[in-house]
Structure 1
Amino acid sequence: MCTHDDAASQGHAGQNRRGFLRNAALAGAGAAAVGVGASALGGTPAVAADSAAAGESARTGKTGAWNPDPDALQFTLAVMPDTQFLYWGSQDSVNRAPQEESFRYIIDNSGTPDNNIVFMAHLGDLTEDADPLSFQEVDKAFALLDSHGAAYSVLAGNHDVSGDDSRGDTPYLQTMGPQRFRRAKSFAGSDPTGYNTAHVFQAAGRSWLVLALDWRTTDQGYAWANEVIKAHPKMPVILTSHDIVASPYDDNVFPYESGDPENNAVMVGNGQTMWDRLVKDNDQVFLTLNGHYWPPGRMTRKNDLGNDVHMHITNYQNRYFGGGAMIRLYHFDLARNTIDVETINPWILAQDPESRSELAAEHARITGPVDNFSVAIDFEERFSSFVPVPVRPSRPAAEELVKGTLAYWRFDGQGAPGTALSAGQTVRDLSGKGNDLTVVTVPGTAADALTWSADHHPDQPGHASLKFAGGRNPVHGTYLTTGANAPLNAETFRSGYTIETFVMMPLDWDAGRNGWAAILSRRGSAGAAGKHGKNTDLNEPVVQLAISNNGREPQFNHYPLNTTYPTTNWGHGLVELRWWHLAVVNDGRFTRLYVDSAPVADNPSRVSQGLTSLGLPWLLGGHEYAGAVDIVFHGNVGDTRIVNRPLPVREFLTAK
C-alpha cells in the first residue's frame, strides 16, 4: 500500500497503523505520489511480537519439483500481492517463513492435476522500507523459486522504490532486476531501465505473455510494452502492475452491500493512464492484476474492439500477519471456459489445524465474494482477433464410409443456404446402398419449411445441414423418407448397430409445439408389430430418436427383437443454439446413448438385441403416431449415418 508522512510515523506507530488499516481503503489514491524514503508507517510492523514462534511452519519433508503440464486445458496462475509487512529490515522485523511456505506450495502444486500451477506473479511492495537489508531477505526467499526453476515475475511497488521507472539504480533493481531471470526459461526480456519485464509461460498448448510493469511507467516504458505485445502477436496478455484499479468501499463493508460484487472496483489515475496507453487498443490484454489498494475488488471494461478486459485488485496486507504471503489462485479451465478464483494462505494451511489460533484459522482460506469467485470467458472467442479459431475442413464422404455403413446422408453441395427443398426432391444415400431420401410436405405447410443451411457442428464432416421448421397443433412441416423398397427398411441389426446424427435446436423451440419430435424414426407401430407389456404404447413407432418436451432431452426409444416391450435410453438436457452430436450404439446385447461422445447416465442394463422392423420406411425429421405423421422436427439436422455394427468412439463422425 502507500506510505504516510514521516511525522505521523514516530512514536505511536502501532496505533497509527491500526487506524490506517481500518479507515483508509482509498488512502493509496491520495498518498501514492509520496516517495518511500523513511516509511511514515514506522514502528512495529503487522507481524506480532512473537512472530518467530507464530511463523514456524508445521511443514516437514522436502520441496517437490517444478513440473507443470504445458498441454493440459486446466492450469493455474498463482498471484501474490503486497508482502511488505514481512520485510522491514530497517526496523529489524523480518519473517520469511510465510512467503517461503507459499513458494513451497506453488512449487509442490506445479505438477498436480488439480492445480497445475504454471506461473507466479508478484504484484509489488515486496518490502515496507526499500532497505537493502529487507531486499537481502527477499532475495533469500525468492532463491527457493530460483533453485527449483519456477516461472515467476516481480515488479516494483511504491514501498520498493520512489519516482518512476527512470529512477536509476535501487536495492530493488540490484536484487529483483532482469539479471535475476537471465537463466529462466520464461524470461522474455526487459526494457532498458530493468524495471519493466516480460515473461512467457506455456499452458493449455499455447504461449501466454505476462507483462510486469513498474508502479509508475514512463513514455519509454509504455513504448517498450507496446513493442513487446506487437512482437508476440498471437499471445494472450496478462498485465500486472502495482496500481491499476482501486476499491471504492471500506474494508468493513461487504462488497455486495456497496454494489455489484463483480464490478466493485474503480479506475484510478495511474490505471486510467495505463488503460489509455497500453490496454484499450491492445486486444491481447484480457486480464490485469494489481495490489496496492484494499479491500480486493474487480471490474470489467470494454476495450476498443468491444471485448472484455477483466481488472482485479488483490491485496491482503491489512489482514492477520500482514496477509501472511497469502496467494490467489486463478484456475484456468479452457474446457469449461471459466477461470475459478480462490484465495488461500499456505503458511497457515501447513500448520497443524489444532495449533492454529482462531484468527489464523479464519485466514486459512478467504471465501468472500471478492476473494472466491468465477469468471466466465469463452477463450476461443475472446482471443479470436489475434488467434483465429481454426476451422476444421470438411472431409470427403468416402472417408466416413466405415465398414458396415448402410446409409450416410449429408447436405453439403446440394442447395444454396436459405433455399427451400421441394416435395419429391431427392437426397442421395452416399453409402451407395440405395437408401435415398425423398422430401415429403405435410399439406398446408409453408414452402420454406425445409431449407438448406450452411450451419453445422464444428466437427461434422459435411459443412451443411437441413433446417426444419415443423411442429404440431396442427401438424406442419416437411420431412424426408426412405423409399418403399429401400434395403434399410428391412434391416433388423441382429449383430448390433450405430446410429449417429448432429442436431441443433433454435431459440424459438417450444416444448408444446416441438417436444417429442423425432430426428430419426422408423414407421410401423408397436401394436402392429405385436408388442405389448410394460411401458408399451401400441401407437408409437418401433424406433425413434427424439427430443423430449420440457427438458429437451434426447431419447432413443426402441422395440428390440428379443422383448415385447421397449428399451429407452435418456440423455440430459440440450441447450438451444448449440450443435450436439448424438450416437446410439448397440453391441448385440446392450444399447448405449452418447452425447458429444460421452455416455449418458440413463443407459439401461437391459439386454436389447436388434431393432424390430415391419419393412416400412425410415423418416428423417418426421414422427408417426397411430399410422400417421403427427409432428415434424423443429431445428437443424446435420450428417446422419447408420452402420450395422457397434462403433467405438474413435470411429464416430466427430473423430479427429
Structure 2
Amino acid sequence: MSKSTDPGPDRRSLLQAAVAVPAVGAAATVLGTGTAAAAPRLGAAAHGGFDTGSPRFALAVLPDTQYLFDADSSDPEPLRATFKYLVSERREANIAFMTHLGDITEHGTPDEIELAADTFRTIHGKVPYSVLAGNHDISGGTDDQRGDTAYLKAFGPRRFRTMPTFGGASPDGYNSYHLLRAAGREWLVLALDWRASDKGLAWAQGVLDAHPTLPAVLTTHDLAWADDDGEARLSDNGRRLWDRIIRGNDQIFLALGGHYWPPGRTVLTNDAGNDVHIHITNYQDRYYGGAGMIRLYAFDLARDTVDVQTFAPWFLARDPAKRTPLEEETIELTGPTDRFSLRIDFADRFKGFAPVVPPKPRPAHRVMPRGTVAYWRFDADGLAAGGRPGTAVPAGTVARDLTGNGNDLTVRLLHGSAAEVLTWSADHHTDQPAHASLRFDGGKQPDRGAVLTTSATAPLNSLKFRNGFTIETFVKLPDPYEGDHAWMGILSWEGRNGDAGKTTGWSKDEPTCSLNVTPERFLQFVLYPDVQDADPTSWSHALPVGRWTHIAVVNDGRRTVMYVDGSKIARNPSQPATGIETLGKPFVIGGTQFDEKFGQGFYGWIGDTRLVERALSPREFMLLDD
C-alpha cells in the first residue's frame, strides 16, 4: 500500500543457468514448534530439475498479490500463470526457492484466503516457497502474538511440514525459516511477520544463532519505502528490524520487503562493516494489480554477481499478436530498480561468519605424475630462500627441481637490476600445490628483471618431447597493471630458431619455444616443432589483473592446445606439431630472449611450474579436482 509508478517496458531476456555437479544436501534444524525438514536429496531430477551444485541459481520473489484476491473481484489466473512458469522453468533457470512478501489478499477473509491457498497448490510440492503475513492478511494493528486467523490455518507451519526446505516456525506460527541447498552450500531464508513481536525477534535471533555459518536472506512485508528516485529508506518497522536483528547479524546480506511502492533499493553498512542490500519489491499499483509479477534474483557465484529481472509470466505466455498495449508495457520492467546487477564478492562478504577453508599445501610427490621431467615450487621445499613476504631473492639462489632429474634453476638478475626485482611471496593460486610464489618486478625503459635458468648441462635443455608434452604454470598480473610490459616472457628455451634451420617464423631470432604476454595481455605460446618446419602459435583471451591464472599447454605429439584455468581456449593452431626444437640451451622462467639477448623481465607473480613428457588431460592438471 502506497503510491506512484515507474515505467519500464522492454522484452524479456532471462539469464540461463548452467548445469554443474550436484552436491549433497543437509538436514534442517528445528526451532520452536516447526517440524524437521528432510535432508534434500541428490541430483537435479530429485529436485524437480533444480541442480544443487551449480554455481548459478535463482531466488524468485513474489510481492503483494492482494488485488488478485479481493472479494468478488478476485482473479487468481495471473498468479497461477506465475506458478506454472516457475515450475516449468525450474530446471532452465535453476530456481531454488520462491518467497512471498505478504499481502496475499486484500481483506484476509476466509474466502479470499481459501482461494489464495488453493492457487498456491499450483506450485506446492514442485518449487519450495515461503509465505508471510502482510497487514491485509491479518489485523494490521496486531503483531505475531495475535492468535488464530484464517491466514494461519491456511499458511501456517502445517502447510510447510512436508517441504524439504522447511526448518521450523516460531511458537505462534507466523514466522518461519527455510534452509536451501544451492551452489554447493546451504542458505537461510527468514520469513518474518508484518509486525514481529519481541518474542518473534528473539526467535529469529535463535534461528541465526543455531545456523551461524549460513548466509541469510531476510524477508518481511514492511521494511523500506522509496520516492520516485528509487532510493530506499527504512520505514519505522524496518528501522526496528535493522537495529534489532539485521545490523548485528553479519549473515544477513539481503533484506526484502513489499508493502510500499514504487520499488527501490539501497545499501546499508552493518556492524561488521559489510554491505546489506535493502530492496522494496511491489507492483500492485501496476496494470492488473501487478498481474502476479515475479522478480528473479539470479545468483552467479562464478561471476560474483546477482542479476535481477522483473517480469509478468501471465503476459509473457500470451500470443504477442493478441497482447493489448498495457499487457505489452507490463511484460517486463527495466528501470534501475527493476532490472539491475549486484556485484558481491561472496567469499569476501561471507568470510566473517563462514570463511573459506583454504586447501592445505600438497607435497611434491603427489603432483609429479608419470613422465614428469621437471617440477619447481617456491616454498621451503623448492627454494633455498624465503622468509617474510617481500624478502629479496638474491642472484645465485637455487630453485630445486623436485623430480631429482637435475633441472635445478638458478636466479640471475638482468641488466644490473637491484635485488628487489625478485622477491619471495606467500601469495598463491588457491588450487596451487605450494603456498608460495616469486614476485617479478621486470619492466622496460630501462630494461630490468630477473630470470631463473637451468645450468648449461641440464637434461631439460635438450629434451625433444616427440611423444608430446604438458607445460603448466601459475601466474598473476598486478592490479593496477602499470607500465609497458608488451611481449614479456613467462617461460622459454634460450636459442634462435634460425640456428635450427627453421624458416617459417616471424623472425629467425625468436627462441624455439616461449610463452609470452602481448600488449593486450593475451597469452602467446610460440612453438617451433622438432619435426616440422613450422611455428604453430596459440593465442588466449586477455588475462585478468589481480587474479591468479593457471596455464597449461598440452601437445599430444600431433598438435598443441592451450588451456586457461582448465578451459580450452579458442585460438589453438591446427598445424601439425611434433616435439620441441630444443638446442641444448637453458630453459628459463621469467623472461624470453630475442637474438639470444634478454630485454625486460616478467612483471607479476609466478608459482608452481611443471613439465611432463606426455599429454595430460585437464583432470590431471595441478588444479585441485572439485
TM-score by length of 2: 0.89
Contact 2:443/2:483 (8 A) holds in 1: no
Tell me the SS of whatever aligns to 1:619.
Answer: strand
One-letter identity of the residue aligned with 1:193: D
**Cross-structure match for 2:244:** 277
**Cross-structure match for 2:562:** 593
Counterparts of 1:115-126 in structure 2, within 5 Å, are 115-126=93-104
Contact 1:554/1:571 (8 A) holds in 2: yes
**Cross-structure match for 2:86:** 106
Corresponding residue to 2:592 among 591, 613, 623: 623
Q: Provide the rounded CA distance (Å) in 1 between the counterparts of 2:493 and 2:458.
A: 12
Q: 1:65 to 1:286 in 2, by over 3 A?
A: closer
CA shift, 1:67, in A, is 4.1
Q: Provide the rounded CA distance (Å) in 1 between the counterparts of 2:316 and 2:144.
A: 37
The reply on whether 1:523 has 2:488 as its aligned counterpart is no
TM-score by length of 1: 0.85
Contact 2:415/2:447 (8 A) holds in 1: no
Q: 1:352 to 1:375 in 2, by over 3 A?
A: same
Contact 1:210/1:238 (8 A) holds in 2: yes
Q: 1:630 to 1:150 in 2, by over 3 A?
A: closer
Q: Provide the rounded CA distance (Å) in 2 between the counterparts of 1:369 and 1:221.
A: 34
Corresponding residue to 1:540 among 507, 510, 529: 510
Show CA shifts across 1:80-136 (max 9, x none).
1000001112xx1111111111111122222x1x31112110001111112222112
Q: Provide the rounded CA distance (Å) in 2 between the counterparts of 1:230 and 1:430.
A: 48
Contact 1:65/1:108 (8 A) holds in 2: no
**Cross-structure match for 2:614:** 645
Tell me the SS of whatever aligns to 1:225.
Answer: helix
The reply on whether 1:469 has 2:441 as its aligned counterpart is yes
Counterparts of 1:210-221 in structure 2, within 5 Å, are 210-221=189-200
Contact 2:372/2:403 (8 A) holds in 1: yes
Contact 1:484/1:617 (8 A) holds in 2: yes
Q: Provide the rounded CA distance (Å) in 2 between the counterparts of 1:66 and 1:521.
A: 52
Q: Provide the rounded CA distance (Å) in 2 between the counterparts of 1:357 and 1:614.
A: 75
**Cross-structure match for 2:32:** none
Counterparts of 1:493-642 in structure 2, within 5 Å, are 493-510=465-482, 512=484, 514-533=485-504, 535-549=505-519, 551-642=520-611
**Cross-structure match for 1:12:** none
Q: Provide the rounded CA distance (Å) in 2 between the counterparts of 1:196 and 1:346.
A: 29
Q: Provide the rounded CA distance (Å) in 2 between the counterparts of 1:411 and 1:475.
A: 25
Tell me the SS of whatever aligns to 1:278.
Answer: helix
Q: Provide the rounded CA distance (Å) in 1 between the counterparts of 2:252 and 2:4.
A: 32
Contact 1:70/1:204 (8 A) holds in 2: yes
Paired residues, what number? Answer: 579
Tell me the SS of whatever aligns to 1:387.
Answer: coil
One-letter identity of the residue aligned with 1:275: W
CA shift, 1:485, in A, is 0.5
Contact 1:151/1:201 (8 A) holds in 2: no
| Structure 1 spans left out of the alignment, 5+ residues | 3-19, 24-63, 250-257
Contact 1:429/1:436 (8 A) holds in 2: yes
Contact 2:62/2:101 (8 A) holds in 1: yes
Contact 1:569/1:603 (8 A) holds in 2: yes
Show CA shifts across 1:3-50 (max 9, x none).
xxxxxxxxxxxxxxxxx6569xxxxxxxxxxxxxxxxxxxxxxxxxxx
Q: 1:507 to 1:66 in 2, by over 3 A?
A: closer
Corresponding residue to 2:407 among 426, 435, 449: 435
Corresponding residue to 1:403 among 370, 383, 389: 370
Corresponding residue to 2:216 among 231, 237, 242: 237
Aligned sequence identity (%): 49
**Cross-structure match for 1:371:** 338
**Which has the higher mean CA deviation after the structures are superposed, 279-288 or 264-273?**
264-273
Contact 2:87/2:126 (8 A) holds in 1: no
Q: 1:311 to 1:508 in 2, by over 3 A?
A: closer
Counterparts of 1:112-511 in structure 2, within 5 Å, are 112=91, 114-146=92-124, 148-161=125-138, 162-163=140-141, 164-249=143-228, 258=229, 264-413=231-380, 414=383, 415-416=386-387, 417-510=389-482
Tell me the SS of whatever aligns to 2:114.
Answer: helix
Q: Which runs of 4+ in 1 moved over 6 A?
A: none
Point out the structure with max Rg over C-alpha: 1
CA shift, 1:511, in A, is 5.1
Contact 2:254/2:276 (8 A) holds in 1: yes
CA shift, 1:629, in A, is 1.4
Q: Provide the rounded CA distance (Å) in 1 between the counterparts of 2:539 and 2:453.
A: 25
Contact 1:536/1:565 (8 A) holds in 2: no
Counterparts of 1:43-122 in structure 2, within 5 Å, are 66-89=48-71, 92-110=72-90, 112=91, 114-122=92-100
Contact 1:649/1:655 (8 A) holds in 2: no
One-letter identity of the residue aligned with 1:135: I
One-letter identity of the residue aligned with 1:552: R
Q: 1:340 to 1:453 in 2, by over 3 A?
A: same
CA shift, 1:555, in A, is 1.0
One-letter identity of the residue aligned with 2:198: D
Contact 1:88/1:127 (8 A) holds in 2: yes
CA shift, 1:66, in A, is 3.8
CA shift, 1:336, in A, is 1.6
Q: Provide the rounded CA distance (Å) in 2 between the counterparts of 1:355 and 1:506.
A: 56
One-letter identity of the residue aligned with 2:170: D
